[in-house]
Amino acid sequence: MLIASDHGGLELKQIIVEFLQSRGIEVNDLGVHADDSVDYPDYAALVATPISNGDEKEGILVCGTGIGMSIAANKFSGVRAALVHDEFTAQMAREHNNANILVLGGRVLKPELACRMVDVWLNGQFEGGRHQNRLNKIIQLSSEDNSDK
């Protein structure tokens, strides 16, 4: 599992890494490893690039609110980064949106809730069907030139 954060998500990221490892999940922690201020798009790219390229299946990003990371990660082709706030949105991110990156806010979530959300997301299954039709429409939107719209 790929995971990265900026300085605002460092503490929660460390807790999530421990949570994942306690469940036998191999974690590739791409940083940060100190609380010095950094630019979140750089860390979003570290997780989103291998997912976009098809080298990895999924990952987790954490910043202060999760907003910046989700915006940055969704710039990458094939990435479906979902910013979630509770267990229900984590479940829907997987079941309806087939999110391949879970995004969390380190300054807005309690660690216990965040770990439950990660668990729900990891154990969820994409439902396909009408949801796949909607994802296909999103893919079509990203392939169109929308610069003059």
Residue 117's H or E segment, with its range, is: helix 111-123
Residue 63 is among the residues annotated as catalytic for this protein = yes
Side-chain-side CA neighbours of 129 within 13 Å: the count stands at 6
Residue 96 is among the residues annotated as catalytic for this protein = yes
Total length of the chain:
149
Say which residues have a Cβ less than 8 Å from residue 64's Cβ, sequence separation at least 6.
6, 8, 9, 105, 106, 107, 108
Give the pair of three-digit tokens for residue 105.
Answer: 């806010």
Catalytic residue among 7, 33, 63, 131: 63
The residues assigned a catalytic role are: 63, 96
